[in-house]
Structure 1
Amino acid sequence: MLRLGLILLVVPAVLLMAGYMFDLSLADACLDQGGSWNYLTTECDDAGKDHPFVPFMVRHPLWVNGGMLLSVVGLLICMAGLYRRR
């Protein structure tokens, strides 16, 4: 039970961080090339027009909320596993 709780606690957080860093690296590479990153279509625009910043949470609410929910469930399972008698 403790092992399942630790997996549910750690894996969603790591996957969310990896997704965020991948998204950030795409936008950074576009800006390094002199373009403007369109967050809604995830494309680099070389036309020179500026696109507004749209946070990761707004673009992927199911990933963020679902990942945090799984982490909280994992924390509760860990706590239950630690309190269980052996």
Structure 2
Amino acid sequence: MSQRLLARAGLALLILPILVLLTIYFVELGKVRECLFDDGHWDYIAGVCRDTPQPFVPWLERAPWLVNGGLLLSVLGLGMTMVGLYVKKR
């Protein structure tokens, strides 16, 4: 794989997982805010608005493969970008 292609693929792997995670996070945040404005309580496990108080469940507990996998892909992309940008002195 050429250095230029490796750097481009690395940049894609560095940026895209973060954008996907942020998109999913902000979509859920919008639903939570809408529920709270309607005087409801968000059920994080079921992903619905309820009338009774619900416990907070962190995103890492609900979707560990999504969070850890996305961050792992970003680190892999960083490594690929660094290798792709490395130029040997002649």
> TM > 0.5 between the two?
yes
Unaligned runs of 5+ in 2: 1-5
1:36 matched to 2:41? The reply is: yes
Report how far residue 84 of structure 1 moved.
4.1
Quick one: percent identity of the two aligned structures?
43
- Which residue type is aligned with residue 61 of structure 1? P
Distance, in Å, in 2 between the alignment partners of 1:19 and 1:80 is 30
Kindly indicate whether residue 77 of structure 2 is the aligned counterpart of residue 74 of structure 1: yes
Tell me the C-alpha RMSD between the 2 structures. 1.0
Q: TM-score, normalised by structure 1?
A: 0.91
- Matched residues, number: 83
The alpha carbon displacement at 1:17 in A equals 0.7
CA distance in structure 2 between the aligned counterparts of 1:58 and 1:21, rounded to whole angstroms: 17
1:5 and 2:14 correspond: no
User: 2 CA distance for matches of 1:40 and 1:62?
Assistant: 16
Q: CA-to-partner distance for each residue in 1:42-72, whole Å, 9 max, x for gaps?
A: 01113xx210111111111111000000000
Letter in 2 for 1:25: G
Moved more, 5-14 or 20-29: 20-29
Give the alignment partner of residue 27 of structure 1, picking from 26, 32, 43.
32
Which residue of structure 1 aligns with residue 62 of structure 2? 59
